[in-house]
Structure 1
């Protein structure tokens, strides 16, 4: 009986039967009869039947079960919400403080009046009130990704460095012995906040520096660059892609002390103040004041580098662009003395202090909305 059944089976049915467990004797006759392929005939019918079997296995929780992560999980992650909080805080801050940014940029690069009140009057007389918001469109386009990247990177790197620091200390950090001298390779001297601040400044600068160049050109020389499109075309025509990264080296050098000090000061003062007052969090006015103090300190320390950076970025407009940062600093000292390194410092503090305070206040507020109210602890 088995021999006759084997003659009636087709090669394809043999391959399918061999891949399944052997039937019991009671079902031998039923299994031995060739079954009609209800999905079709030929190669395509066999392929379709295999696909249908895979679908059945999928419903039976087999190894073919695969699903893409829902987009809501991605948008609801802590990192994304921190990036969004940074973007919103930056946009709201720049919308309020755009006139101060305009005056600060003009004074730093030496355009027009040398005092704050005179610069305000000069801009209004020449361009009207809207002149105080010159370059604000590109400034808004710049600050949204800049603040998102900077604050988001700061939070991520801070958590990663803190976790690494704790694991390093708990696992008894390595020891190095050179002769009779033992060295404990501890990370206690490295501040996770300082590392995170430096990383935040570098990341945002590398990504958003071309927007900074465009903003400065539109602010300083609106007659040469009346619109964003014309500015992009003329800058590319004059120097190619590299022109959008004019002054990138001094920007990175100047950003390191500023960003490191800014985040370190804010985080340190915040924790010390909360510990002294036995508080878990700051009020909005306290965030505003501590953020302003952090911005003032960081700006004062790094301001000479900021002057050199601005000179390099817009030097081409005046037909004399220093070749490097050291040459820019030497040029300022030669023309104006040491006080020239802090020309525009008052206007800078007038802009940086409220900007820093408002940014932190808005950022912490948006984190409360997007993180705490959604069940994510800060």
Structure 2
């Protein structure tokens, strides 16, 4: 082997050709099959990225960035319809944006949207995985250690944690964590999307918002956002994880294919969005109410205002546009996220 290796080095030489030869040798080529195939593997990641949690955060960030780059126009249309700006239907709103701002108007606020979604998805998906794994481990240890019992008179109660769903708890924690960290970016994105005349650039938007209300202005609507996020995030992650496990058990599969991830992610987003959409409408009203010269004092007042002005159907104004955005966004995010996890977790764990 040593002689063979030396002869190969002499044959191909050093420098560029030697490097090319070494790269080709690293590709796993199957000479016995009639079809040519090779397997590509990323190089081992730095020690900083050995942690599973860090890799999950990176996977979430990459998935979020790729999804938003594709679906930015739908996000613009959805935001305008939810807050009541312009046309009341999807097609009319789409045409109106193009007529007023050109094609680039469909990507209004997209830069801040990308800056927002990268940390948001990283924190949200990373927190979900971490809390779910931790809670599952706690439940197993609690069960193995014979959890304590509480006795009140003649009544004995088992202090069990089995009634808590790790997935639902992780989903709620993911929504809260990402909202607290990234809410200022959400405020900036909405201002840039809804009122590009008043906020033509990111720098001007930051300066004007700070001038109007200080640091607190960047957290406008944080309470209704958290209230609206809890049911959505909890339902979203619970639905996806439950459907994934049920589908795999029914089909006797260990994992989903990419199209199946796309479909189940879309269904989870549709269900969660439908349940929590009235809270989303009220939240958007509170966040951009100052732009229209009227801002409801709280979420209940915002909901009452919508019902008074538009009836119960007003609570679902923009729901169609929201579904058109949420469903592909959820499906594509899960597909990209699982794909990046396969690359960063599976491939690199095998290389150590």
- Report the TM-score when normalising by structure 1: 0.80
Among candidates 280, 287, 304, match of residue 306 of structure 1: 280
Where has structure 1 moved over 2 Å in runs of 4 or more?
Answer: 71-74
How many angstroms apart in 1 are the aligned matches of 2:141 and 2:131?
Answer: 15
- Which of 291, 294, 298 is equivalent to 2:268? 294
**Mapped partners of 1:171, 1:273: distance in 2:** 32
User: What's the CA shift string for 1:308-360, capped at 9, x where partnerless?
Assistant: 00000000000001111111011001100111100000000000000000000
Give, in whole Å, the separation in 2 of the partners of 1:288 and 1:186: 36
Take 2:228 and 2:222, find their aligned partners in 1: how far apart are those partners? Answer: 10
Paired residue for 1:87? 61
Query: Which of 305, 312, 318 lines up with 2:292 in the alignment?
Result: 318
- Superposed displacement of residue 376, structure 1: 6.6
2:306 aligns with: 332
CA distance in 2, matches of 1:173, 1:271: 27
Is 1:368 paired with 2:317?
A: no
Q: Give, in angstroms, the shift of residue 74 of structure 1.
A: 2.4
- Are residue 195 (structure 1) and residue 140 (structure 2) matched? no
The number of residues matched between the two structures is 307
Post-superposition Cα deviations, 1:87-140, rounded to whole Å, max 9, x if no partner, equal: 000000000000000000000000000000000000000000000000000000
Q: Distance in 2 between matches of 1:343 and 1:76?
A: 46
The answer on whether the counterparts of 1:288 and 1:361 sit within 8 Å (CA) in structure 2 is yes
> Residues 218-367 of structure 1: matches in 2 within 5 Å?
218-367=192-341
Quick one: distance in 2 between partners of 1:194 and 1:168? 19
Contact 1:78/1:376 (8 A) holds in 2 = no
From the superposition, tell whether residues 376 and 186 of structure 1 become closer, same or farther in structure 2 (CA, over 3 Å). Answer: farther
In the TM superposition, what is the alpha-carbon distance from 1:172 to its structure 2 partner?
1.1
Deviations 1:8-27 (A, max 9, x none): xxxxxxxxxxxxxxxxxxxx
1-structure distance, mates of 2:328, 2:114: 17
TM-score (norm 2): 0.86
Higher RCO (CA-CA < 8 Å; seq separation 6+):
2
> Gaps (5+ residues) in structure 2?
1-44
Structure label with greater radius of gyration: 1
Of 65, 86, 94, the match for 1:120: 94
RMSD value, Cα: 1.1
User: What secondary structure sits across from 1:159 in the alignment?
Assistant: helix
For 2:286 and 2:48, locate their aligned partners in 1 and report how far apart those are by CA, in whole Å.
41
Distance 1:185 1:348 in 2: 42
Q: Deviations over 1:246-267 (max 9, x none)?
A: 0000000000000000000000
Match of 1:213 in 2: 187
Q: Does residue 1:106 correspond to 2:80, yes or no?
A: yes
* Aligned residues of 1:329 and 1:341 also touching (Cα < 8 A): yes
Q: Give SS of 2:46's match.
A: helix
**Counterparts of 1:188 and 1:155 in 2: how far apart (Å)?**
19
Q: 1:144 maps to what in 2?
A: 118
SS at match of 1:371: helix
Residue 145 of structure 2 is aligned to residue 176 of structure 1: no
> Contact conserved, 1:309 with 1:325, CA < 8 A, in 2?
yes
Alpha-carbon contact 1:101-1:351 (below 8 Å) kept: yes
How far is the alpha carbon of 1:171 from its aligned partner?
Answer: 1.0
